[in-house]
Amino acid sequence: IFAEGAISRTGNMLPFKRGMERIVQGLDVPIIPVHIDRLWGSIFSFEGGSFFWKWPKRIPYPVTVSFGAPLPSTATAQEVRQAIQELASDATAHRTTPADRLDLRLVRSARRNWRRFAMADSTGRELTYGRMLAGALLIGKWIRGASANDERIGVLLPSTVGGALVNIGATIAGRIPVNLNFTAGREGMASAVGQCHIRTTITSRAFLAKAKIEAWEGMVFLEDILASAGKWAQARAFLAARFVPAALLCRGGHAPDSPATIIFSSGSTGTPKGVMLSHSNVLANIEAIAQVFWIGGRDRIVGGLPFFHSFGYTVTIWFPLISGCGAVYHPNPTDARAIAELVAKYRGTFLLSTPTLCSGYTRKCSREEFASLRYVLVGAEKLRAPVAAAFHEKFGVELLEGYGCTEMAPVVAVNVPNFEAPKNVQIGNKPGTVGHPLQIGRAHV
């Protein structure tokens, strides 16, 4: 029995119908919970808004079927649904392969989307996927040679193309990038550097001057790294990015469960604490986000969140680039005019923000500038109804509230747009909540 009664249009597991309870009422039979993993994304799912009319992602297409412990016939629909959700969580362990690494996934995505727009920032710098991968390889080669005995590399850069390339290059080089929180002050950054035993920190002279941060021993400047790469080195990086097998490009010795980054807390409750996120952690979050937000090659994610924030790291660096869409960066999310100009210039479709920032956008930005937006995801604070109503009235786009935490890499739950058809309404957005917990899979009993 497929107790949902319909195929999900939102990517979430639907509520279970009470008809299941009526079928077993008065019968002394067990209820066997069964979960079928990975059907979302198959040609029989509504991924991308279409059923059946799409190419399969793999041939043969893999699924995992999990059977749970028998439940009594008196179990409620909600209790059965809970049991299947737990099976769904356990089933993801069967997906992991040695290729489940951020660097390998990114190389394959870059080659599929070689000439497409990959990233840009408010300085005017724009890169295609091919140029992005070549630039990351150049930086990665420098990191591999200059830090042969270092496991972790400090990154002190704002949300820009350069900051994203350093994170990607470090990962390809087999190092763990640690984005330092420059708002935590010298003491907070020194604590993170000490805890991670960081000897090399990549930064920028222009950024240090603007942020009024004094240089310290072990700092290397991105301007010097790029300047040291001559035309021959650039040409070799471009050819390698295009033709060298991904396994040879990414020889860092990563494993799916090895750390991909370390994100530090703000230190509001004491000394900043480092949270290690593995490649599997980040990839699982990316796959779960992609299940509820249908992102394609024409989408552009606009974000001003810093890379030392787990949301900025996962959702503005790796999620768009592995999903095959574009990313647009600006270091200051409070700069409403700059954000509006970037959304308008690059036809941004996915905006990451907070309710307070969106309140400012409502006052300072025009409807025409935000006309291309499809999704606006907000978190970090409670979304008040007047803020959501004002934004929707001006721009015609709903604010979708979510919740996350660093330890969860980071998105835990999120509202998504409702699906409404004459005979089929599926609720994805319930104001006043943080939405459905992220999940991957589909169920039947």
177-212 pLDDT per residue, tens:
999 999 988 999 999 999 999 999 999 999 999 999
Q: Which residues are 179's β-sheet partners?
A: 155
Q: Which of 44-58, 102-116, 218-232 has the lowest mean pLDDT?
A: 44-58
Buried b (16+ CB within 10 A) or exposed e, 351-372: bbbbbebbbbbbeebeeebbeb
Cα end-to-end span (Å), the chain: 5
Q: Is 320 helix (H, G, I), strand (E, B) or coil?
A: helix
pLDDT on residue 442: 41
Query: How many C-beta atoms lie closer than 10 Å to residue 396's C-beta?
Result: 11
pLDDT on residue 268: 63
pLDDT on residue 443: 40
What is the percent of the chain with per-residue pLDDT over 70, rounded to a whole number? Answer: 97
Average pLDDT over residues 71-89: 93
Whether 311 and 404 have beta carbons less than 8 Å apart is answered as: yes
Q: What strands, in cross-sheet order, belong to the sheet with 201-203? A: 176-179, 152-155, 201-203, 219-221
pLDDT on residue 253: 65
Whether 132 and 105 have beta carbons less than 8 Å apart is answered as: no
pLDDT on residue 92: 81
Whether the per-residue pLDDT at 68 is higher than 50: the answer is yes
Angle at 354 between CA 349 and CA 356, to 5 degrees: 125
Tell me which residue has tokens 């969106």: 358
Buried b (16+ CB within 10 A) or exposed e, 126-136: bbbbbbbbbbb
Q: Is 183 helix (H, G, I), strand (E, B) or coil?
A: coil
pLDDT on residue 440: 55
CA separation for the pair 244, 11 (Å, rounded): 36
Task: Tell how far CA 343 is from the center of its chain.
Answer: 19
CA separation for the pair 139, 90 (Å, rounded): 38
Query: What are the Cα distances from residue 21, in Å, to 7, 324, 327?
Result: 20, 43, 47
Whether the per-residue pLDDT at 45 is higher than 60: the answer is yes
pLDDT on residue 421: 84
State the average pLDDT for the chain: 92
Q: Which residues are 328's β-sheet partners?
A: 120, 302
Nearest to 272 by CA among 404, 204, 212, 183: 183
Phi, psi of 378, deg, nearest 5: -125, 150
pLDDT on residue 429: 94
pLDDT on residue 42: 82
Q: Which of 34-38, 164-168, 422-426 has the lowest mean pLDDT?
A: 422-426
pLDDT band at residue 390 using 50, 70 and 90 as cut-offs: very high
Whether 328 and 120 have beta carbons less than 8 Å apart is answered as: yes
Half-sphere exposure of 401 (CA within 13 A, CB side): 19
In the chain, the amino acid numbered 311 is: F
Six-digit token string for 376: 């606006």
Whether 342 and 364 have beta carbons less than 8 Å apart is answered as: no
* Cis check: omega of the bond before 33, within 30 degrees of 0: no
- Quote the pTM value: 0.92
Q: Which of 59-63, 343-347, 397-401 has the lowest mean pLDDT?
A: 59-63
pLDDT on residue 46: 82
Whether 122 and 329 have beta carbons less than 8 Å apart is answered as: yes
pLDDT on residue 223: 96
pLDDT on residue 267: 62
pLDDT digits (tens, 9 = 90+) for 105-136: 999 999 999 999 999 999 999 999 999 999 99
CA separation for the pair 278, 407 (Å, rounded): 10
